[in-house]
């Protein structure tokens, strides 16, 4: 997951670098073709310095430049502000607001809204407005109204970009939440539960703490669907989850792993704590009968599959007791073992 985030941050940064490279490389023919005008050498040196910075950033190793979101934002912010400083510098040397280089201040701001988060877009937007104001201030021939209109236009664009970035972030959060949530019961789905497990297990390895997985299946749930219909079965599952939430801590997620199979991850729980929680779940959803199994980290395993199999065996043993079946290995456990 972290590697994917780093690669995505690098891809976004490279996209911005290419965009900047193309936009500011377009100024080279302009500077060369107007070499008889003042300050051309200084403008070309500044342009080459920023282009060199862009090339250096593009060649940085992923782990060095994009190891953390903060570092990735610092890199992106650095080149964005550098590009805006280049625009302010060159446009000021080329006639101020009348220079064809001045509108290039819009490029980093607009690109930021398409790729970056709200905070970084805000920073780049403020830098863009400052760039526009600086061009007008250093233009001796510009009237304050001209500076106001130019800087104000960029401020409106920047505000729109911040709004767009905020809306995009909300859409991403909603999609991420939907992809990890069971639409029927509102608890985590298998993907969301597995991702939460990875975070908890990583923290447990660092701190040496424990946690427990408590799995349960609803007994005779197929008969409920067959006799009363799937709508009734769905309402039963929703009601069971609502009741469970009254005895499970809000920090301990409930996951629906499929059908009538649910699991609770209880952080800090040992075997006795897991048994007490399992009994509270049995009591709160009575008279509905469930088969419960549990596994404790690290005694029963360290990976999700190992703990899942251990809890699944407990579920199957209870089902045998409830239905008087002959003892044997859990079909689900056998299936997961054969797939390892």
Task: Please tell me whether residues 163 and 101 are part of one structural domain.
Answer: yes
Distance CA 249, CA 291 (A): 21
**Burial level of 43, CB count in 10 A (0-12/13-18/19+)?**
buried
Give me the pLDDT at residue 187, please.
Answer: 92
Give me the pLDDT at residue 330, please.
Answer: 46
Give me the pLDDT at residue 60, please.
Answer: 74
Domain boundary, last residue among 147, 179, 211: 179
Task: Please tell me whether residues 62 and 132 are part of one structural domain.
Answer: yes
| 217-273 pLDDT tens trace | 888 888 888 888 989 999 999 999 999 999 999 889 999 998 889 999 999 999 999
Report the range of poorest mean pLDDT among 9-13, 23-27, 319-323: 9-13
91-97 average pLDDT score: 92
| 268-325 pLDDT tens trace | 999 999 999 999 999 998 888 888 999 999 999 999 999 999 999 999 888 888 765 4
pLDDT band at 65 (very low <50, low <70, confident <90, very high): low
17-39 average pLDDT score: 85
- Which residue did the predictor score with more confidence, 234 or 64? 234
Task: Please tell me whether residues 142 and 208 are part of one structural domain.
Answer: no
Vertex 211, ends 322 and 289: CA angle to 5°? 20
Report whether pLDDT(136) > 50: yes
Residue 56 lies in a domain: yes
Domain of residue 223 covers 190-339
Give me the pLDDT at residue 128, please.
Answer: 93
Report whether pLDDT(331) > 50: no
DSSP element (H, E) containing 34: none
Task: Please tell me whether residues 86 and 60 are part of one structural domain.
Answer: yes
Give me the pLDDT at residue 335, please.
Answer: 44
Average model confidence (pLDDT) for the chain? 85
Task: Please tell me whether residues 175 and 216 are part of one structural domain.
Answer: no
Task: Please tell me whether residues 102 and 45 are part of one structural domain.
Answer: yes
Residue 185 lies in a domain: no
pLDDT band at 135 (very low <50, low <70, confident <90, very high): very high
Residue 61 lies in a domain: yes
Residue 184 lies in a domain: no
Domain boundary, last residue among 133, 158, 179: 179
What CATH number does the domain containing 313 carry?
A: 3.30.70.270
Distance CA 213, CA 216 (A): 10
Distance CA 315, CA 308 (A): 10
Task: Output the pTM of the full model.
Answer: 0.66
Task: Please tell me whether residues 333 and 221 are part of one structural domain.
Answer: yes
Report whether pLDDT(9) > 70: no
Residue 234: which region, alpha, beta or left (left: phi > 0; alpha: psi -120 to 50)? alpha
Give me the pLDDT at residue 336, please.
Answer: 43
Report whether pLDDT(61) > 60: yes
Task: Please tell me whether residues 81 and 108 are part of one structural domain.
Answer: yes
Say if residues 112 and 80 touch (Cβ distance below 8 Å). yes
81-106 average pLDDT score: 91
Give me the pLDDT at residue 339, please.
Answer: 40
pLDDT band at 69 (very low <50, low <70, confident <90, very high): confident
What is the tally of structural domains in the chain? 2
Give me the pLDDT at residue 6, please.
Answer: 60
Report whether pLDDT(340) > 50: no
- Give the tokens for residue 284: 């709160």
Task: Please tell me whether residues 246 and 313 are part of one structural domain.
Answer: yes
Give me the pLDDT at residue 20, please.
Answer: 74
Task: Please tell me whether residues 91 and 134 are part of one structural domain.
Answer: yes
Say if residues 287 and 259 touch (Cβ distance below 8 Å). no
Closest among 105, 122, 115 to 163, alpha carbons compared: 122
Q: Strands 290-297 and 254-258: what pairing?
A: unpaired
Task: Please tell me whether residues 174 and 149 are part of one structural domain.
Answer: yes
Report whether pLDDT(18) > 80: no
- Which residue did the predictor score with more confidence, 46 or 327? 46
Domain boundary, last residue among 179, 209, 229: 179
pLDDT band at 7 (very low <50, low <70, confident <90, very high): low
- Which residue did the predictor score with more confidence, 18 or 258? 258
Task: Please tell me whether residues 46 and 149 are part of one structural domain.
Answer: yes
| Contacts for 101 with CB less than 8 Å, ≥ 6 apart | 27, 30, 87, 90, 91, 94
């Amino acid at each position: 997951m972290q590697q994917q985030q780093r690669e995505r941050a690098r891809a976004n940064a490279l996209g911005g670098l290419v965009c900047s490279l193309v936009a500011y490389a377009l100024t080279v023919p302009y500077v060369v073709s107007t070499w008889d005008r003042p300050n051309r050498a200084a403008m070309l040196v500044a342009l080459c310095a920023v282009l060199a910075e862009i090339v250096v950033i593009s060649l940085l190793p992923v782990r060095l430049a994009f190891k953390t979101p903060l570092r990735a934002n610092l890199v992106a912010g650095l080149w964005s502000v550098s590009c805006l400083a280049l625009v302010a510098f060159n446009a000021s040397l080329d006639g101020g607001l009348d220079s064809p280089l001045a509108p290039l201040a819009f490029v980093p701001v607009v690109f930021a809204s398409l790729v970056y988060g709200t905070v970084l877009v805000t920073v780049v937007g403020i830098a863009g407005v400052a760039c526009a104001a600086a061009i007008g201030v250093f233009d001796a021939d510009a009237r304050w109204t001209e500076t106001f209109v130019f800087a104000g236009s960029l401020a409106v664009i920047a505000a729109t970009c911040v709004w767009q970035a905020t809306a995009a972030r909300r859409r991403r959060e909603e999609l991420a939440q939907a992809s990890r949530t069971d639409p029927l019961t509102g608890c985590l789905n298998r993907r969301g539960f597995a991702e939460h497990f990875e975070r908890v297990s990583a923290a447990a390895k660092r701190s040496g703490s424990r946690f427990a997985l408590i799995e349960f299946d609803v007994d005779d749930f197929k008969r409920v669907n067959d006799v009363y219909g799937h709508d009734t079965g769905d309402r039963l599952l929703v009601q069971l989850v609502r009741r469970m939430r009254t005895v499970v801590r809000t920090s301990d997620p409930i996951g629906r792993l499929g059908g009538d199979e649910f699991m609770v991850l209880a952080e800090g729980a040992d075997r006795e704590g897991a048994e007490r929680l399992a009994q509270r779940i049995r009591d709160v959803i009575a008279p509905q009968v469930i088969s419960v199994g549990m596994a404790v980290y690290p005694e029963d395993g360290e990976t999700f599959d190992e703990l899942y199999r251990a809890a699944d065996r407990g579920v199957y043993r209870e089902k045998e007791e409830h239905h008087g079946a002959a003892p044997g290995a859990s079909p689900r456990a056998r299936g997961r073992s054969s797939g390892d």
